[in-house]
Amino acid sequence: MNVAATPGQGKRMLTSPARVGVYAFLISAAAFFILPLYIMLVTSVKPMEEIQLGNIFALPVSFTIEPWRAAWGSACTGITCEGIRGGFVNSLAITIPSTILAILFGALNGYALSFWRPRGANLLFAILMAGAFIPVQVMIFPLVRILAMLGLFSSLPGIILVHLIFSMPVMTLLFRNYYTSMPQELFKAARIDGGSFLRIFFQLILPMSVPIVIVATIMQVTGVWNDYILGLIFAGRDNLPMTVQLNNVINTTTGVRLYNVNMAATILTSLVPLTIYFISGRWFIRGITAGAIKG
Amino acid sequence: MANVSIRNLNVHLDGNEIIKNLDLDVLDGEFLVLLGPSGCGKSTLLHSIAGLNEVTEGRIEIGGADMTWVDPSQRNIGMVFQSYALYPTMTVERNMSFSLRIKGLPTAEIERRVQRAAEMLQLEPLLKRKPSQLSGGQRQRVAIGRALVREACVFLFDEPLSNLDAKLRNELRRELKMLHKQLGSTMIYVTHDQVEAMTLASRIVVMRNGLIQQIGAPGEVYEKPENLFVAGFLGAPNMNFIRGSLAFTADKLTFVATPLNLDISGYAFRQPPKESQATTLGIRPENIHITPSGRLQGSVSLVEPMGIHQVVWINCCGNMISSIVHETVEYRADQPIRFDIDTSKVSLFDQLEQRL
């Protein structure tokens, strides 16, 4: 009757010095990223009087969501005072087509490069990859001229096209690597079964690409949503994305700098990528390893 | 039903010459096996017939029509791959009907064909499953079914059983043979497994380095190999090879590898043999008989029991000679024994490794 006396070999030592070290490191690394978020959240729900006391770590004494309302609907962005609401809609209008089209074309590129292997495929791919290493700034002026010639400058289709162009190298690489790790025989079987270029792509390859499509979605949504410079230059006055509006909110001061409104606007702006990360973090890691390592 | 005729075929892949000037005729309704070690070009040849490789030079005809540059789907072929290559996102039923749906056949016809193939391969209970829910053997049967529903003239098999375990392989091998009997269509089958080749083929094509070494019925290739490579590739354990030379004595022709001295007067030479010509003699283990009255002498060096028989390795005159013994006699290492070589079953090869 000595059940309790069995030695607890399976139990891990939680207090060994190495463990303590590991936890200390992990906690401080997490704090490094969480602390700014904490300060932003806390500041955004404090009235200005409390903020002016200077205790940025302190919890709010009198809680208010007024700054959030202001940031969303009435903060001034230059001469108009409508908050960043309009920017949110604009950002959606830019991000959704830019993401869907970029994934579609990136997947098609990767599919063609890794399965159909046309003559000169490697050269084409190398050129595309070289594109990924040229800084965006170099291409801005020529692109402005080109879009102006096409009559697309300062328009929604214009900014979508620009995002599409700049995302092609990475999207292609992502899908090409994912597809190279797929068995060629699958494609050959589909060829014998009579599948055409698009048929094989839509009925066979694309349904098998869910993990990498999720990765591409995350990358593209965050990339496009967080973009500032392209939106500022190519979108035009009526289509300015949320990031540009945010900048305007923060730079427009009439008297006092409204830190709480600024913080609320910033959090609102970063909410979309943040949500996407939280929902799909698990998928993201899985897809990255599936696509990148085997390539 | 169709024959396949290949003329002067050259295939280069990534700058390497894989198949060189190959001519091959596959008869209507034949089960032709392409056999060879990995890298011999047998798979490349099959893929060229399927149209999955670009041909550098030459002509491929299927059923009398030139198919050299025709799209794979238009060649009237069905193909089964080593990795099964099932479409993972589709059910068994949709895997099998994929080609028919693309062709736009009426639903009733698609259903009829899928049902028929499923019946033949005992796949009916699995039709609604995804490939990931099937075992290896079931997957390969689905892959075969997918080829069957196309009701093609020629079926191509690319090492279809290599990924299965030994027991399943034997089972599916028999099923394939029954299937061929039932359908009577032309089948071309690539393998590196000599047992599959021997059991399935109406004719075997032995390949090496992109060249055909020998074409013949399984028995013919086994009994009368064209060259040393074919002789060594087929048979387990290997054919025994003894180096020596020919000698004419009075009315007899003998093979001499001192102290061995074999009367081979009965050998059907293709060209007249020459005195003291350097020769390699090949003899299969089952044609070496251990018997107390044997003319040759050696000692046992190793015994491998196989259950159905045992392989006795005899140390004789500096050669290790294997012999298959069906009797349940127990042999000890270093035991001196006497044996005979059945000279009516020997193969002789010249210095260029070609059959004499």
CATH of the domain at A166: 1.10.3720.10
pLDDT score of A291 more than 70: no
In percent, the amount of chain A with pLDDT more than 90 equals 56
- How do residues A138-154 score in pLDDT, each as one tens digit? 989 999 999 999 999 99
**Per-residue pLDDT at A10:** 54
CB-based contact A188 B99, cutoff 8 Å: no
In a domain, residue A110? The reply is yes
Non-local (6+) Cβ contacts of A108 within 8 A are A201
Q: Domain locations in chain B?
A: 4-233, 240-349
Q: Do B85 and A183 make contact, defined as CB atoms within 8 angstroms?
A: yes
Tens digits of per-residue pLDDT, A122-140? 899 999 888 888 888 898 9
- B79, B83, B88 ranked by CB distance to A192: nearest: B79
With a cut of 80, say whether residue B273 has pLDDT above it: yes
This prediction has a pTM of 0.83
- Which band of pLDDT confidence, cut at 50, 70 and 90, is reported for residue A117? confident
Say what the pLDDT of residue B5 is. Answer: 95
pLDDT at residue B134 in the model = 92
Nearest-by-Cβ selection for B99 from A194, A207, A208? A194
* CATH domain B4-233 topology: Rossmann fold (3.40.50)
Domain assignment present for A223: yes
**Testing the interface with A: which of B76, B81, B113 to mutate, by most A Cβ within 10 A?**
B81
> A11 in a domain, yes or no?
no
A148 located within any domain: yes
Give the model confidence (pLDDT) of B70-123 as tens digits.
Answer: 999 999 999 999 998 999 999 999 999 999 999 999 999 999 999 999 998 999
* Residue-wise pLDDT tens digits, A52-100: 888 888 888 889 999 999 999 888 877 788 888 889 999 999 999 999 9
- Chain B residues within 8 Å of chain A (Cβ atoms): 47, 50, 52, 71-73, 77-79, 81-83, 85-89, 98-99, 102-103, 143, 146, 150
Mean pLDDT of chain B, nearest integer: 91
Q: For residue A247, give the H/E element and its range.
A: helix A242-251
Q: Dihedral sign, CA of A225, A229, A231, A232?
A: positive
Domain containing A224: what range? Answer: 92-243+270-293
ipTM: 0.85
Q: Has residue A221 been placed in a domain? A: yes
CB B36 within 8 A of CB B192: yes
Report CB contact under 8 Å: A190, B87: yes
Nearest to B298 by CA among B289, B287, B286: B289
β strands within B111-192, DSSP E? 154-158, 186-191
**CA B68 to CA B66: how far, in whole Å?**
6
Kindly determine whether residue B73 and residue A188, on different chains, have CB atoms separated by under 8 Å. Answer: no
Q: Is A49 on the interface with B (CB under 8 A)?
A: no
Any domain includes A248: no
A288: pLDDT strictly greater than 60: no
Per-residue pLDDT tens over the stretch B248-258: 887 888 898 87
pLDDT tens digits for range B199-217: 999 999 999 999 999 999 9
Structure tokens at B214: 């020998």
User: Are B274 and B246 within 8 A, CB to CB?
Assistant: yes
Please indicate, yes or no, if residue A120 is contained in any of the structural domains. yes
The yes or no reply on domain B240-349 and CATH 2.60.40.1840 is no
Residues ≥6 apart with Cβ < 8 Å to A5? none
pLDDT tens by residue, A258-280: 899 999 999 999 998 888 888 87
B53 Cβ neighbours under 8 A, 6+ residues apart: B11, B13, B44, B47
pLDDT for A118 equals: 86
Q: Is the pLDDT of residue B325 over 50?
A: yes
State chain A's maximal CA–CA distance in angstroms: 90
Query: Is A195 in the B-facing interface, judged by CB distances under 8 Å?
Result: yes
Total structural domains in chain A? 1
CB contact under 8 A, B78 and A186: no
- Asked if residue A5 has pLDDT above 90, the reply is no
Say how far residue B231 (Cα) sits from the centre of its chain. 13
Among A206, A227, A207, A132, CA closest to A173: A132
SS (H, E, C) A76-130: CECCECCCCHHHHHHHHHHHHHHHHHHHHHHHHHHHHHHHHCCCCHHHHHHHHHH
Query: In DSSP terms, which residues pair with B35 in a beta bridge?
Result: B191, B206
What's the whole-number mean pLDDT along residues B313-334?
A: 88
